[in-house]
């Protein structure tokens, strides 16, 4: 999985196409990501101690990683992710547009 929690991504397909948001969780086993404000689903919630009235809760549902593109924090463009190795052997992500290392090292 090349997308990480905290990344800013652009949605490239589906009903939220064109939306940008921050990745709030990553599900590597399912190849899915959860993006803030994207793929919102409404859930009916039964009354509980927490929500006495019950009602409708809106929350982002996971979407496939292939439906989003990383927005490079350096050049602010949606980009493909490349990988490179640093001198110490650490694998880092690189923006294919500006060639900058995306990961903070
Ligand atoms: Zn870039």
**pLDDT tens digits for 36-57?**
999 999 988 888 887 778 889 8
What pLDDT is recorded for position 54? 82
* Ligand 1: centre distance to CA 4 (Å): 16
Averaged pLDDT for residues 62-76 = 96
* Ligand 1: centre distance to CA 9 (Å): 13
What pLDDT is recorded for position 35? 98
CATH of domain 1-71: 2.30.30.30
pLDDT confidence band for 105 (50 / 70 / 90): low
Task: Say how far apart CA 31 and CA 23 lie, in whole Å.
Answer: 13
HSE-CB for 100 with a 13 A CA cutoff: 12
**pLDDT tens digits for 70-83?**
999 999 999 999 99
* Ligand 1: centre distance to CA 69 (Å): 12
The structural domains of the chain, with segments of one domain joined by +, span 1-71, 72-105
Task: Say how far apart CA 41 and CA 61 lie, in whole Å.
Answer: 6
* Ligand 1: centre distance to CA 97 (Å): 5
* Ligand 1: centre distance to CA 76 (Å): 6
């Amino acid at each position: 999985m090349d997308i990480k929690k905290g990344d800013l991504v652009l949605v490239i397909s589906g009903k939220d196409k064109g939306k940008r948001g921050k990745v709030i969780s990553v599900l590597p086993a399912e190849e899915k990501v959860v993006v803030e404000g994207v793929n919102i689903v409404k859930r009916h919630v039964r009354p509980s101690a927490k929500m006495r009235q019950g009602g409708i809760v809106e929350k982002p549902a996971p979407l496939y990683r292939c439906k989003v593109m990383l927005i490079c924090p350096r050049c602010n463009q949606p980009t493909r992710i490349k990988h490179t190795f640093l001198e110490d052997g650490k694998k880092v992500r690189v923006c294919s547009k500006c060639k900058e290392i995306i990961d903070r090292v």
